[in-house]
Amino acid sequence: MNWILLAVIMILVIWIIASYNTLISQKNQTLNGWKQIDVQLKRRYDLIPNLVESVKGEMKFEQETLTKVIEARNQAISVQGQGVAQIAAQENALSGALRQLFALVENYPQLKANESVTKLMEELTSTENRIGFARQFYNDIATKYNITLQSFPTNTIAGTFGFKNAELFEITNPQEREAPKVSLDLN
């Protein structure tokens, strides 16, 4: 009788340790995913002044757009380290301003023929995509973490040790793509 009780306790302890470790590893993956977004955001902050600098000679009459881009960039830098919602709002404003600038560059054939401008634009386009994909990846692993966190019976462990839900990026831009329904079952 005694050792049945002992076995039950043992199993319980092993289960607690295993769930705790799963939570920890998923939490760290989520944090790492978040850092990856930061890396790309920094890359964007560095690229923007270069682009503005190299197009401003030709785009004398687009001062308004150029200032808007720079302002949006500085705004975005100022909210760094704050909550997901605030960061997302500023970053989306910056993306909007950049998109406007890109559309305007289309009207300047001299700029489009300029090698350093096209290179900068390619780098920025790529950075925009990287930010999008880094967020997508973050949302995927954060969702996985949240599901583990909220599922019974792991939620009891999460509650005891104070694990909190990870915040997700809302898709504010309707153009941003939703996940397609994918089935990997073939036969």
Contact residues for another protein (CB under 8 A)?
33, 36, 40, 115, 118-119, 122-123, 125-126, 129-130, 133-134, 136-137, 141, 177-186
**CA 79/CA 90 separation, integer angstroms:** 8
Shortest distance (Å) from residue 125 CB to another protein = 8
Shortest distance (Å) from residue 150 CB to another protein = 20
Q: 46, 57, 40, 48: which is closest to 101 by C-alpha?
A: 48
Q: Which is nearer to another protein, 64 or 185 (CB)?
A: 185
Q: Which is nearer to another protein, 33 or 52 (CB)?
A: 33
Q: Which is nearer to another protein, 66 or 87 (CB)?
A: 87
Question: 94: exposed, middle or buried (C-beta count within 10 Å: 0-12, 13-18, 19+)?
Answer: buried
Q: Which amino acid is at 86?
A: Q
Shortest distance (Å) from residue 102 CB to another protein = 13
Structure tokens at 73: 């960039």
